[in-house]
Structures are given as C-alpha cells and as structure tokens.
C-alpha cells in the first residue's frame, strides 16, 4: 500500500526530460539536467532508465562538425 501511495505523488518529469534531450542534453549530464529542472539527480536517473525501458529513448550519440 505504501508503494502505491509513493507512486501517486511522484511527479511526471518525462516531458521535461524529452524536451532537454531534443535540445542536445545527454545522460552524462545528469547533474546539469537536475539543476536545470530543479529535481534530484536520482530522480533524473530513474526517469531516464524508465524512458529507455519504454523505448522512448533509443540511443545517445554525439554530432560533430
């Protein structure tokens, strides 16, 4: 029962993360992402892993000139 209550109060930050990834942020920048959207880095890491498992994030790559 306690886990169910915790799940209900968790914020959905996935839209914010997706927006930042579209701007060029990547997973090594978890602390920078956390500061940008004012969330703990553990929350960012958890949500990134969840997005990966859901197939929303498929790859990370560098783009160079």
The DSSP result for 1-65, as a single string, is: -HHHHHHHHS---HHHHHHHHHHT--GGGHHHHHHHHT--HHHHHHHHHHHHHTTS---------
Question: In this predicted model, what pLDDT tens digit does every residue of 1-42 receive, in sequence order?
Answer: 444 444 445 578 888 888 877 777 666 688 888 998 899 999
Residue among 32, 63, 62 at smallest CA distance from 48: 32
Please state whether the predicted TM-score (pTM) of the whole model is above 0.75.
Answer: no
């Amino acid at each position: 029962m306690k886990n169910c209550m915790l799940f209900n109060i968790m914020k959905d930050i996935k839209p914010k993360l997706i927006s930042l990834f579209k701007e060029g942020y990547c997973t090594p920048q978890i602390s920078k992402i956390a500061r940008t959207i004012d969330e703990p880095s553990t929350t960012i890491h958890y949500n990134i892993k969840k997005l990966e498992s859901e197939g929303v994030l498929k790859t990370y790559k560098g783009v160079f000139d």
